[in-house]
Amino acid sequence: MVQMLGKTRQARTAGVRRSTGGLTGRRLRSLVFATMRLRSGLEALLVFCVVVASPACATVKPWERAALADRCMAASPDPEESKLEQHFFAYREGSAGGSGDSGGGCGCN
Amino acid sequence: MGVKLRATLCTFLLLTLAAPLARAEPLEEHRDLRRKDGDSAESQVAAPAGTRVASKLALYTDDDGLTVITPIISVTQRIFDATSLSVEYDADVLSAATVDVRTAATDKFDEVRHGLAVSGIHRVRSWETDLNGSVSLSREADYASATFSAGFASDFLEKNVTLGGGYSYVVNLVGRAKTPFDSFLDILNIHAVSLSYTQLVSKRSYFQLSSSLIAAFGYQASVYRYVPLFLDGQFDPASVNESTLGTGEVRPLLRPAERVPRDRYRGALVLRYNHAFPFGFTLVPAYRVYADSWGVTSHTADVMLYQHLPLGLVLRLRNRFYYQSGASFYQRVYVIDSSDVLPENYTTDRELGTFWYDLVGLKLSLELPGLAWFEKVVIDVKGDLQYTSYTDFAYLPERTAIVVGGGLLFEL
C-alpha cells in the first residue's frame, strides 16, 4: 500500500510538471497561492478519509458485493445526464471547468 | 459540416454497429467497484452491453430571459471482448435576452452549438486496467473547440481499490458573431490533470476522492461584455442597477471591453460516499472544494437519495448547495479617478462575483428488463428548480431557473 501511494504521489507530481511546463515566476506564484488556498480543505478531507478508510482494511470479496452492484450505487449511474449536468454547472458556477468542459461561447452566460 | 465529413461519420457509425458483437455480459459484473466520475478522462462509459443507445433532452429556462434546449444522443458499441467505442452528438439551442444582453443595449439573440465526440475504452485484463481516450469537437457561430483526453483506471487489492487518472487538452478558438475568424480570433488553451482514488469500505459502501488541476492560458473574457466604469464622486454606487443604467440615470464615464487575466490555475477536490441501506434505499453525499489563482473559492454540498419502488421504478431526490466567493479583481461597481488610469482587470461576469444557489431536483426512472429484443430499456424524467442569489452583482439580485428533461436508454 505504501509503495502504491508512493507511485500515486510520483504520478501526481509528474502530472503537475507536465501540465505546467514552461511556467514563468508569476504563473508559478499563482499556482502556489491556489494550492495554499486548497490546503486547509485538503487537510480536513485527508483526516476524514483516514478515519473512514481505517476499517476498510478488511477486503470485500466479489460475492459480497450485491448491494454495491446496484445501479444507484454507481458513481455515474447515468453518463449522459452527468455530461449534461457538467455542461450546465460549467456555465452556472464560476468554479466550474474542472471537468475540462469543451463547450465554449458566451451566449448562455 | 462538409459532405465528406458526414459520409465518414455515417460510415464509422455503420461499421461500429455492424462490428462483431460479443455476447453482452451482465452489467453487474462491471459494477463491483464504481470508478467512473464526471471528470474529464474518467467520464467514459464503463464496459457496457453489446450495444447501448442513450438519448436525453433537457430544457433550461430562467427568469433572466435565457432558454436552452439540449439534446444528446450517444451510441456505444462493444467490439471484440474488451473494447468499446462510443459516438456522441449533443447540441445547445439557446435564446438569450439576459441582463448581459439588456445592459449592453443589444437585441435578443438565438444561437446553436453542435458537439461531436468519439471515445473508446479498452480493458487490459492482465493489468486489471481500463484505458480510455476521446476526441470531441464543439462548434458554434463564434466559438470552436477541440478536446483530447486520455486516462486509465486500475484495480488493486481484489478490486477493493481503484486508482484513476487522466489528462485532457482543450484548444478553444474564440471569435465574434458575424465576424470572420480572419478579423477577430483569440485562443484559449486548457490543460487538465485528474486523479481519483476509490475504496470499498464495506459490503454496502465505498468512498471516492478525486481531484483535478487545470491550467488555462489565453483569452478568458467575453467578447460581448462591456464594463461600465464610473467617475469617482459623480454618483452614488448603491444606486447602480439595471434600471438606472438603462434609463441613463447613472452614466458611466467609459465602457471598455471586459478584461481578465490570461492565465488561470484551478484546483478542485471532491469527496463522495455511497452507501446502500436495506430496502432499496441509497444515500450519496458529496462535498467539493475549489480554489483558483483568480481568488475564487467555492464549496459545494450535494446529496442524492435513491429509493427503489415497485415495478422497476427508481425515485431520486436531490439537493445541491453551492457557495462561491468572488474573484480578487471583481467589484460590484468600478470607480475610476480619470479615463487615463484604468484598473488592471475589470468584469461584470456575475459568475466571478460572490453568490450562492440551491438546487432541488426529482428524477423518476423506469427500468424494463428484457423488453422484446432489448436486454434493457430505461425511461426517465426529471425536474430541477434552482434559486440563485447574487450578493454583489449590481444588475441582477437573484435568478430562478427550471430544468426539465427526459431520457431513453436501450441496451441490446
pLDDT band at residue A96 under the 50/70/90 scheme: low
Instruction: Calculate the CA dihedral of residues A4, B120, B171, B68 and round it to 10 degrees.
Output: -110
Residue B14 has what pLDDT? 39
Backbone angles phi, psi at A51, to 5 degrees: -65, -45
Q: How many CB pairs under 8 A join A and B?
A: 288
Question: Look-up: residue for cell 481503484?
Answer: B162
Q: How far is CA B275 from CA A15, B27, B169, B367, in A?
A: 32, 20, 34, 21
Residue B165 belongs to domain with CATH number: 2.40.160.40
What residue numbers bound the domain in which B222 lies? 3-411
Minimal Cα–Cα distance from B231 to chain A, Å? 28
Interface test with A, best of B264, B265, B297, B387 (most A CBs within 10 A): B265
Residue B239 has what pLDDT? 83
Residue A62 has what pLDDT? 87
What percent of the residues of chain B are helix, what percent strand, and what percent coil, each to the nearest 5? Answer: 10, 55, 30
Q: Are the beta carbons of A100 and B170 separated by less than 8 Å?
A: yes
| Nearest Cβ partner for A83 among B72, B276, B287 | B72
Give, in degrees to the nearest 5, the angle at Cα B267 between B265 and B273.
165
Backbone angles phi, psi at B101, to 5 degrees: -70, -45
Residue B293 has what pLDDT? 96
Using CA atoms, how far apart are residues B296 and B220, in angstroms rounded to an integer? 15
A22 in contact with chain B, both atoms CB, cutoff 8 A:
no
Q: In the predicted model, is pLDDT for residue A37 greater than 70?
A: no
Q: Which segments within B5-65 are labelled E, that is strand?
A: 51-62
Q: How far is CA B241 from CA A94, A109, B232, B236, B401, in A?
A: 21, 19, 17, 11, 21
The 10s digit of each residue's pLDDT in B137-180 is 999 988 999 999 999 999 999 889 999 999 999 999 999 887 88
Nearest to B40 by CA among A109, A50, A59, A97: A97
Minimal Cα–Cα distance from A23 to chain B, Å? 11
Residue A20 has what pLDDT? 38
Residue B242 has what pLDDT? 82
Q: Are the beta carbons of A84 and B70 separated by less than 8 Å?
A: yes
Using CA atoms, how far apart are residues B282 and B277, in angstroms rounded to an integer? 6
Minimal Cα–Cα distance from A108 to chain B, Å? 7
Question: Look-up: residue for cell 438519448?
Answer: B55
CB contact set of B285 (below 8 Å; sequence gap of 6+): B272, B273, B301, B302, B303, B304
| Nearest Cβ partner for A68 among B208, B276, B284 | B276
| Low-confidence residues in chain B, pLDDT < 70 | 1-49, 105-106
Residue B138 has what pLDDT? 94
Minimal Cα–Cα distance from A67 to chain B, Å? 6
Residue A106 has what pLDDT? 40
Q: What is the pLDDT averaged over residues A51-66? A: 71
Residue ranges of the domains in chain A? 24-56
The 10s digit of each residue's pLDDT in B210-256 is 999 999 999 999 888 889 999 888 778 888 888 888 787 888 889 99
Q: Are the beta carbons of B35 and A105 separated by less than 8 Å?
A: no
**Domain count for chain B:** 1
A28 in contact with chain B, both atoms CB, cutoff 8 A:
no
Q: What is the length of chain A?
A: 109
